[in-house]
Each structure stands twice: as C-alpha cells, then as structure tokens.
C-alpha cells in the first residue's frame, strides 16, 4: 500500500545542506525486509520509521540503504522536525529524548561514546591519536587542512571492523571548536554529510582537550553541517536545525 515519507535536511538551516533523511510515520513497523527495501529505494544515509506509542512517545528505527543501524542523530533530528514537537523515542540505543526551542533549535539527549586509545593502523601514519568507541574509530589528524583533504581508503576503513571512521582536528574557522569528516563504507555510506552519532564520540574527546563541555563542530562534507554539543556526564546533548525539502509517496 502507498507510503508517505518526508525528506528533511538535518543539521543545517538551509535546503541542500546538512544530511538528508527520509521520515515515515507509520501505525506499526513494516516487515524488516520491506523497511530495508524502502531505505534502499530512497538512497539516503538514513530512512527513519516512527511508530506512535502514546503521548509524545514513539518507537524509532533507522535504516541505511544497506543495513539497520543502532543509533542515528540526523534522522532522529529529522523525525522530531517532522513531528513538530519534542518526543521520547524508544530505540535500539535506549530512550532518546528531544526538545524544540522557540528559535527552532532541536536538541537530542544521546549516550556518550568515549573512544579508547588503540594502535593506529599503518595507513594512518599522520594520526596524532587513534582510538575506538562502541561504534566508530576516531583519528586525530595534524590540522583542519588534513581533515578537509583526507583521501579515504574505503577498503581499509571497512577492515577496521567498526561502523565507520571519524577524522578530526581543531577547528580553524570562527565559531567552531573542531572539524570532522565521517566515512562508513560498511553501512553503504562512503562519506556521511552530517553525523550526529559521531559527535557522541567527538564531544567527550574534545571536551577533555579543550576543558569545556559546550562545543560546536563543523562536519566538513561537501554539503556542510553544524552540530552543537554539550557533554553532560555520560550523555551528550546534540543540537541542530532542520529544513523540510520534499514529500515522497511510494506507490507499492
């Protein structure tokens, strides 16, 4: 039967920036195979399926074109934007709460994912620090220019055995504490334009080094993205904006 989806650009205040996600509000989750087929058809970093469970409470699942993922920031932001109000989402990563401020900023309460130092692979000889968190590997590069010009070896990244690789450095532009890029070939996403969940690792990493809990990150993808972060113990509050860009009707 037909399915309505809303496509939202997340972690941006302008169309065609940030990271697009498709959001489907459904009475119940379709079969897993169908959700995966829909995500493959949409060909976006994530397609989110949202099921109401009570007042301002929902179940939420995320799919890339290839796999279901356990945590996704930009599609959670997009889902909140589509709902038009803050919500509590039951997910594979536990309960995630979101709020919308009067100025439109959406904040999301996510689990922190602290990377533990590990030996850097030989193909990252310039890494100043390397570690792994629950989901991703993290490499500190010498400077922002090294992040912006980083040429990924996708086969080597996939061989790390993680969801993906974050490369980061101190920010060199006014208003940004850090700059990053994110690569996740194992999930079918070569370079993700804006990755909220990666900032669950970046927030504690940079908070420790810069000595403050509130930070702003630039994700230096081609589309560009701005992610606000606030470390709160073992949680990270991620903030961003979103723009609706299209409505899609699947006829089958």
Q: How far apart are CA 36 and CA 117, in angstroms?
A: 34
The H or E element that residue 114 is part of is none
Contact 117, 130 (CB under 8 A): yes
Give the CA diameter of the chain.
53
Q: Is 46 a catalytic residue?
A: yes
Both structure tokens of 252: 């089958």
d(CA 99, CA 113): 21
Burial zone of 120 (CB within 10 Å; 0-12 exposed, 13-18 middle, 19+ buried): middle
Start-to-end C-alpha separation, the chain: 5
User: Is residue 119 packed enough to be buried (19+ CB in 10 Å), middle (13-18) or exposed (0-12)?
Assistant: exposed
CA–CA distance, 225 with 135 (Å, rounded to integer): 21
**Contact assessment for residue 12 and residue 244, using Cβ atoms and an 8 Å cutoff:** no
Give me the catalytic one of 46, 107, 191, 218. Answer: 46
Nearest alpha carbon to residue 196 among 104, 114, 75 = 75
Q: Reduced to 3 DSSP states, what percent helix, strand and coil does the chain have, rounded to the nearest 5? A: 20, 45, 40
C-beta of residue 87 within 8 angstroms of C-beta of residue 95: no
Residues serving a catalytic function are 46
């Amino acid at each position: 039967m037909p399915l309505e989806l809303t496509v939202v650009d997340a972690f941006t205040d302008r169309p065609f920036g940030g990271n697009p996600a498709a959001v489907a509000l459904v009475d119940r989750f379709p079969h897993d195979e169908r959700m995966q087929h829909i995500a493959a058809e949409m060909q976006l970093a994530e397609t989110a399926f949202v099921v109401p469970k009570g007042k301002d409470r929902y179940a939420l699942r995320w799919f890339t074109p290839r796999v279901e993922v356990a945590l996704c920031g930009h599609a959670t932001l997009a889902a909140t934007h589509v709902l038009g109000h803050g919500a509590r989402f039951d997910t594979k990563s536990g309960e995630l709460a979101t709020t919308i401020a009067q100025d439109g900023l959406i904040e999301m309460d996510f689990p922190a994912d602290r990377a533990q130092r590990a030996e850097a692979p030989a193909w990252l000889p310039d890494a100043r620090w390397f570690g792994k968190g629950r989901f991703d590997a993290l490499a500190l590069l010498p400077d922002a220019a090294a992040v912006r010009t980083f040429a990924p070896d996708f086969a080597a990244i996939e061989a790390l055995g993680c969801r993906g690789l974050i490369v980061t450095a101190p920010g060199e532009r006014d208003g940004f504490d850090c700059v990053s890029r994110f690569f996740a070939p194992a999930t079918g996403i070569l370079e993700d334009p804006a990755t909220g969940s990666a900032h669950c690792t970046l927030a504690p990493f940079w908070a420790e080094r810069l000595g403050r809990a509130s930070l702003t990150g630039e994700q230096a993808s081609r589309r560009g993205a701005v992610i606000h972060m606030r470390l709160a113990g073992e949680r990270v509050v991620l903030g961003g904006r979103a723009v609706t860009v299209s409505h899609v009707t699947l006829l089958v």
